[in-house]
Chain A
Amino acid sequence: EPEVTQTPSHQVTQMGQEVILRCVPISNHLYFYWYRQILGQKVEFLVSFYNNEISEKSEIFDDQFSVERPDGSNFTLKIRSTKLEDSAMYFCASSEEGRTEQYFGPGTRLTVT
Chain B
Amino acid sequence: KQEVTQIPAALSVPEGENLVLNCSFTDSAIYNLQWFRQDPGKGLTSLLLIQSSQREQTSGRLNASLDKSSGRSTLYIAASQPGDSATYLCAYYSGAGSYQLTFGKGTKLSVIP
Contacts and interface: CB of A to CB of B under 8 A. Distances in A.
B32 interface: yes
Contacts of B103: 42-44
Given A99-B32, A99-B93, A100-B32, A45 B44 contact: no
Nearest to A56: B99
Interface range on chain A (Cβ under 8 Å from partner): 20 to 34
B89 A43 contact: yes
A105 B42 CA distance: 9
Overall SS of chain B's interface: strand
A101 B46 contact: yes
A86 to B, nearest CB: 18
B102 interface: yes
A31 B98 CA distance: 13
A100 B101 CA distance: 10
Interface string A21-43: 00000000001010100000111
Overall SS of chain A's interface: strand
B75 interface: no
Interface range on chain B (Cβ under 8 Å from partner): 20 to 34
Contacts of B104: 42
B102 A45 contact: yes
A56 B100 contact: yes
A91 B103 CA distance: 13
B91 interface: yes
Interface of A: 31, 33, 35, 41-45, 48, 50, 55-56, 58, 91, 93, 98-107, 109
Given A56-B100, A99-B98, A104-B44, 11 more contacts: A42-B105, A42-B106, A43-B91, A43-B103, A45-B102, A101-B34, A102-B34, A102-B101, A106-B42, A107-B42, A109-B41
Interface of B: 31-32, 34, 36, 41-46, 49, 89, 91, 93, 98-106
21 contacts: A33-B100, A42-B103, A42-B104, A42-B105, A42-B106, A43-B89, A43-B91, A43-B103, A45-B100, A45-B102, A56-B100, A58-B100, A91-B44, A98-B99, A99-B32, A102-B101, A104-B43, A104-B44, A104-B46, A106-B43, A107-B42
